[in-house]
Amino acid sequence: MSSLAEQIAEVVRVALHNTIPAVGTRVYRARQDAIDRTECPAIVIESGNENTDNAEADGEVEANVLSLSVAIHVAPGTGTVWETAADELVVAAHALIRAATYPGMSGPPLRQGRTWEGASGDGSPGICVLTYRFDYWNNATDLSTSA
């Protein structure tokens, strides 16, 4: 079985996959290949940092903070501001991410902000990245088991 961190990332992927009509099934987990304009809009979910501390004096339970990014790639048509097109998808994705049920006694994640990366002259899509914080607990001896 995969770790709770990977399970959380998969919950986010499933929550977004084929649930936002404009994006459809173009939701990827840790995709490293560039997304071109013909694939837009698309969403890429990637794990960031994970910090761990003992949650109990006996060291049997670990408290974790996982950072997860949700990158929304857009290539709007003529006359459309790419940030506006991305923002519509951000609103839909955020509602789905907050409504999902996560393992490890993790409640809805805390959004830690977003960044925008404008499209360059080479025709690359614009990217709006949402960053989330997930707090969860696992058995110290098993990264796949909630504590």
Whole-number Cα distances in Å, 125 to 34, 75, 77, 84: 10, 5, 11, 13
Question: At residue 129, what are phi and psi to the nearest 5 degrees?
Answer: -110, 120
Q: Are 144 and 1 in contact (CB under 8 A)?
A: yes
pLDDT digit string, tens, across residues 73-111: 998 776 778 899 999 999 999 999 999 999 978 889 999
Which residue's entry shows tokens 């025709």?
A: 123
Distance CA 50, CA 130 (A): 17
Q: Give the orientation angle of helix 4-16 with respect to helix 82-99, to 10 degrees.
A: 120
Q: Is the pLDDT score of 62 beyond 70?
A: yes
